[in-house]
Amino acid sequence: MADAHDELSVVFQALADPTRRGILSRLREGPTTVGDLAEPFAISRPAISQHLKVLERAGLIERTANAQWRTCTLRTEPLDEASAWVDRHRGEWNERFDLLSERLRALKGQTDA
């Protein structure tokens, strides 16, 4: 279980950056060259390369080389695992928010009286 949790931490860390999320959003449309991925971002090629390394380490992309072209492909399995983790905990979180809401209403009722 610890290994799965560590993998999940790496995925969430990769998703924490808006540039990396932007890269993943572009890859939803299909495999793309590194040059095309870098185009809309106002950062250097080495910075894009670092972002791609983080995404690859998290298992969120796969990079392949074909002649001089470097292509990136989205891998959804880690996203599915992250989504499943959130779904498993969503009920507990909602229950806690409901209890907090009830408590706040009760406290507000006490101050109104």
* pLDDT tier, 64 (very low <50, low <70, confident <90, very high otherwise): very high
CATH number of the domain encompassing residue 86 = 1.10.10.10
Distance between CA atoms of residues 60 and 77, nearest Å? 8
Is the confidence at residue 5, as pLDDT, over 80? Answer: no
The pair of structure tokens assigned to 32 is: 């793309």
* pLDDT tier, 4 (very low <50, low <70, confident <90, very high otherwise): low
Q: Check: CB of residue 59 under 8 Å from CB of residue 9.
A: no
User: Which domain does 95 fall in, by range?
Assistant: 2-112
Is the confidence at residue 24, as pLDDT, over 90? Answer: yes
Is 112 exposed, middle or buried (CB count within 10 Å of its CB: 0-12, 13-18, 19+)? exposed
Q: Which of 79, 108, 89, 75 minimizes the C-alpha distance to 11?
A: 79
